[in-house]
């Protein structure tokens, strides 16, 4: 089996603690942060057929934030 070799190099951005809420929200939608970001970028630059990704209920984010605060 070959190692996991991404097709593109990783990019770094600074976001803050909302990154963890974003992770919980993406997982609640059955996806991952990187996929949501790619969808947002495609929509933003008006790629043909690109649409905004679906968002989870606000309760998902609030629960993730409360859990993170309780753990710290």
pLDDT tens for residues 26-71?
999 999 999 999 999 999 999 999 999 999 999 999 998 898 889 9
Can you tell me the distance from the alpha carbon of 3 to that of 53, in angstroms, rounded to the nearest whole number?
30
CA angle 33, 34, 37 (to 5 degrees): 85
pLDDT on residue 1? 54
For the chain, helix, strand, coil in percent to 5 are: 50, 0, 50
- Confidence (pTM): 0.79
pLDDT on residue 3? 67
């Amino acid at each position: 089996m070959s190692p996991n070799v991404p097709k593109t190099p990783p990019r770094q951005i600074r976001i803050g603690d909302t990154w963890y809420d974003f992770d919980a929200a993406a997982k609640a939608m059955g996806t991952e942060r990187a996929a949501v970001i790619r969808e947002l970028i495609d929509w933003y630059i008006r790629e043909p057929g690109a649409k905004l990704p679906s968002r989870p209920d606000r309760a998902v984010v609030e629960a993730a934030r409360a859990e993170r605060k309780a753990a710290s």
